[in-house]
Amino acid sequence: WVTLHGFSLNVNTDMRYFEYIIPCGIKDKQVTSLKRELERELTPEEMEELKAKIRKHFADVFQAELIYK
């Protein structure tokens, strides 16, 4: 009775690979990316800002202290 879940955020991902799988077994939905939704790639600076925001909000939501090694 153990389950594992992950977190994934497609940013500048080549989404063609997802045409060959059914993510999470959900057949009638598509997977997307920020690149597809914004119609442009994120710059390296935007990517760093995004990572910082995700870390902050993850820590806030889960009341966690993130440790970097």
Active-site positions? 24
Both tokens assigned to 16: 């063609």
Contact 48, 24 (CB under 8 A): no
Cα–Cα distances (Å) from 12 to 21, 27, 59, 61, in that order, read 19, 23, 24, 25
